[in-house]
Amino acid sequence: MTKKYNYQYFLSYLVCFILVTQVSVSQEQARISKIPTLNNHEFIPTTGGQYPFTSTSVSAYMGYGQTVNFNVPIYEINDQRVIGLTGDVIFADLVFKYQQRIRERLAFYTRFNLAARLGSDVQTVLGHGLNTITSFEIGWKIKLIEQEKFIMSTQIELQNHKGSFMNILGFVRDIKNDVPDPQITENVPVLTGGTGFLFAYGINDIFGLNFYSELTWGETYKRGENAFRFQLGGNFDVNFYQRFNIPIGLVLSSMLTSQPDVVYANGRTAKIFIFKIAYTKSTDFVLGIEWMNMITPMPEVDKDPLAQSVGLSTG
């Protein structure tokens, strides 16, 4: 007599095992996850964004782009008009940031940024030259309020920038106007200090919001002058992994800033818009690609050019 195998018991055991395994994996991921989380929402950082979390973290960004329909302005040299020509200015950026948690409500961070703006052909080299800015920042982040869905912090930081500017046509004009000791290049150190407020809100496990503001005071690119600088921005991110097990996240970000590491002209403001798509399955980092549109003021230009760039970021 053949013994009949009971498939119902086998299927029941298999279903129970899968459910228990999935619950255990989810709990383990939540327990060891290093991604900043509020209300079960894991936030997706962007290059320009600032976040209120005081956990230890490392982030980096490398990007490349160029202007769109950039026009070199018209100059007059020795009563001769130099006609402005259409060209491109190349943008290259490298950012590295490290944050160390000191206590639950206190963290120390450093940030290094190298930005370059250079003409891609003869006319834009003449009109815009080769400009670089290196920035080093140190600061303290202090958590003020934390609840299940939102967190707010403040930060205090010191920024040290060094701008290197090449202006060929400006050099020629200085010679024509008998300016003492004309320079084709100029190196300008800029030291600023400031503070700001950071806010994050976890709407649910899919959606999150982040806002930040910063106000600084210090030197400008014109020696002997001081001024206030500001930065305002916000991010809206969507993370599909927690609910749908799809390891994809999306971020829309915007920023308005006059900070010297972005804006090369005193008293001007840049507008930046970012779209990011990210891989969000890892519990240790978020890896993504960022597309950036910038309306960035530059010296010797009357109309702020539009620049577009793409970069790889991790954080």
pTM of the model: 0.81
- What backbone phi and psi angles, to 5 degrees, belong to 170? -65, -35
Residue 11's Cβ-count burial label (10 Å; 0-12, 13-18, 19+) is: exposed
How sure is the predictor about 209, in pLDDT bands with cuts at 50, 70 and 90? very high
Percent of the chain clearing pLDDT 90 (strictly above): 55
Q: Mean pLDDT across the chain, nearest whole number?
A: 83
pLDDT mean over 187-210: 96
Compute the distance between CA of residue 65 and CA of residue 211 in angstroms, rounded to an integer.
Answer: 26
Task: State the DSSP code for 1.
Answer: -
How sure is the predictor about 265, in pLDDT bands with cuts at 50, 70 and 90? confident
Compute the distance between CA of residue 143 and CA of residue 154 in angstroms, rounded to an integer.
Answer: 6
